Amino acid sequence: MRSGSRSQTIVTRLQPYLLIGPTLFLVLLFNVLPAARTVSDSLHKPARGLNAAGKPAEFVGLGNFQDIFDAGHYMGGRFLRSLRNTLVFAIATVGVGLPLGLLLALLLQHKQPLLGLWRFAVFYPSLLPLIGAASIWSFIFSDSIGLANAVLRSFGHPGLNWLGDRNLVLMSVIIVNIWKQSGYFMIFFLAGLQNIPRDIYEAASLDGAGALEQFAALTLPLLRRTLLFVVVISFTFAFQTVEQLQALGEGGPADSANLLLYLIFQNISERRNWGYVNAMTIVLIALVLVFTVSNFFLFEREESD
């Protein structure tokens, strides 16, 4: 009897580990192991020169990180520029795309003629494959034959070099991203809005609150959870941007629209740069973590206040 209950306790104790075992194994294999490899590779310089393939990498400590933060280094100059672009890109796409998504949700939440059509029109860009959408935009932005310049020229403007002008190209990529994502964000906000009971608005109206007051005092606070979710995913999306750049000028000219993940992709094929690529990956992950965690704390603290 006693031994039976003991073996039962062991089984009971082991049970949770057995249950999470398969998941744990997969997480170790596909997440933890590659991450550990990335950290290790970021501290090494691959062998260089002729017949480097068989030679071991050299441990350089933080040397790769020093190089990528050195503006005079061939990789550092590109990295620092792409890092700055990535921050601008993330803040601009979230700063404009998210309020736009919210505005669209507010406009399209009530019954009105052609509601389905409006919602579809706003949402459909997010259904398109990214690379296809970006290719469409690369035609729109084309210097001599593009739609954007045709419109500008019809107003007497000489037209803009959307993807060739170094001061403009990052903005062009941001525009595409906002167009692509705000409809997607709208869906989340629409869902969030549906969860807010209608009667509290009626009560507020009776108390004499106007539309703006209702929005500030009721809608926004009650949407906080949705807002947190959308902020987190939109920042993560922004840091993961790759596909658009492939169609929209490949980050050029001279990296003026290049973003971190695309720069990493561009440099992965040559062995000599693997140390840098891994170091840049770690910086990117750190960035995403900082944004996500700080957003979380920001909203959580408000919640507990």
DSSP state of 46: -
- Quick note: the x/- pattern for another protein over 58-77, rule CB under 8 A, is --------------xxx--x
List all residues 6 or more positions away from 4 whose beta carbon is below 8 Å from its beta carbon.
none
Residue 172: how many other CB atoms lie within 10 Å: 24
- Rank residues 87 and 159 by Cβ distance to another protein and give the closer one: 159
Q: Is 255 in the site for another protein (CB under 8 A)?
A: yes
Supply the minimum distance, in Å, between the C-beta of residue 200 and another protein: 54
Determine, following the binding rule CB under 8 A, whether residue 256 of this chain makes contact with another protein. Answer: yes
CB of 112 to another protein, least distance (A): 41
**Packing angle of the helix pair 147-154, 130-140 (nearest 10 deg):** 30
Residue from 87, 232, 253, 287 in contact with another protein (CB under 8 A): 253
Residues forming a β-bridge with 59 = 44
Q: Which is nearer to another protein, 38 or 161 (CB)?
A: 161
Is 157 a residue that touches another protein (CB under 8 A)?
Answer: no
Q: Is the dihedral of CA 13, 18, 24, 25 positive or negative?
A: positive
Decide: is 271 part of the binding site for another protein (CB under 8 A).
yes
Candidate residues 1, 145, 206, 212; the one interacting with another protein per rule CB under 8 A: 145
Type and span of the H or E element at 15: helix 2-27
Does 164 bind another protein (CB under 8 A)? Our answer is: yes
Concatenated DSSP letters of 153-212: HHTT-----TTT-TTTHHHHHHHHHHHHHHHHHHHHHHHHHHTS-THHHHHHHHTT--HH
CB 219 within 8 A of CB 74: no
Residue 150 CB coordination number (10 Å): 13
103 scored as a contact of another protein (CB under 8 A): no
Helix (H) / strand (E) containing 68: helix 63-68
- Cα 194–Cα 106–Cα 182 angle in degrees, nearest 5: 100
Q: Which is nearer to another protein, 104 or 163 (CB)?
A: 163
Question: Is residue 161 a contact point for another protein (CB under 8 A)?
Answer: yes
Q: In this chain, which stretch among 31-39, 137-145, 184-192, 200-208 interacts with another protein, using CB under 8 A?
A: 137-145
Candidates 22, 49, 197, 208: give the one binding another protein (CB under 8 A).
49
78 binds another protein (CB under 8 A): yes
Task: Give the interface size with another protein as a residue count (CB under 8 A).
Answer: 38
Interacting residue ranges for another protein, rule: CB under 8 A:
48-54, 72-74, 77-78, 142-145, 158, 161, 163-166, 249-256, 266-273
